[in-house]
Amino acid sequence: MAESKVRRYAAGGALGMLCVALVLCAELSGDESNRPNGGEKAEPAKESDAEHRVSVAVARDRAKLMHQIYASTLRVMHQRYFHGDNAPVPARAMEDVFSEIAWRSKVEARWISANVQPMGVNHEPRSEFEKRAAKEISAGKDEYESVEKGYYRRAGAIPLGAGCIGCHAGFLGMAPKTPRYAGLVISMPVNDE
């Protein structure tokens, strides 16, 4: 019972820190009553993102901070809550957070596979940027970035530890000889410079 309370407090604290950090990162617009589907989860709006555009320097700073926030939240969720017994997979739960942030700030985030099998078709690198980023991360780079067509894109490495490899690479019975990575791609609109 006491352990359950500690877990709830830890979850509340982690979510509180995530919310505070995201408020610092993104300019929040609108309230829940204006949200499509009466507050239900929705795809990011396809409207103009002109008011959300920032300089490349600001985008770079925000993307690095958001990467740290998302990666830390994923790690804490894995350590505290996911134990394989029908609990939701933390990376999948994080996709709901990505959707919420994209809806509010026009900053998009998504997982890609780098040098492991993707956990789903949605994690396969799609664009030329993502394919190049997966190669760079696989080669040991911490990050890969690009500015084109009005967007700053940053892909950062997400190291997969021994506990992750069982699902992501299949049971190997031993640690892999080379480090395994997924990637986190963050894209945000920028002003032309």
State how far Cα 37 lies from the chain centre: 24
Q: Looking at residues 25-49, what average pLDDT do you find?
A: 44
40, part of any domain: no
| Coil/strand/helix, residue 68 | helix
CA dist 32 and 44 (Å) reads 14
CA dist 84 and 26 (Å) reads 33
147, part of any domain: yes
Check pLDDT > 90 for residue 124.
yes
Domain range for 173 is: 2-28+45-189
CA dist 34 and 122 (Å) reads 28
CA dist 63 and 101 (Å) reads 13
Q: Give the model confidence (pLDDT) of 81-122 as tens digits.
A: 766 666 667 777 788 888 888 888 889 999 999 988 777 788
Q: Hunting for tokens 């610092």 — which residue is that?
A: 24
Other CB atoms within a 10 A radius of the CB of residue 100 amount to: 15
* Measured torsion, CA atoms of residues 2, 88, 141, 116, in degrees rounded to the nearest 10: 130
| Coil/strand/helix, residue 8 | helix
The total of structural domains in the chain comes to 1
Using CA atoms, how far residue 81 sits from 84, 85, 147, 167, in Å, is: 9, 10, 37, 16
34, part of any domain: no
82, part of any domain: yes
Tell me which residue of 156, 116, 109, 107 sits closest to 133, measured CA to CA: 156
106, part of any domain: yes
Lowest mean pLDDT among 16-30, 87-101, 117-131: 16-30
Q: Give the model confidence (pLDDT) of 70-83 as tens digits.
A: 888 887 777 667 66
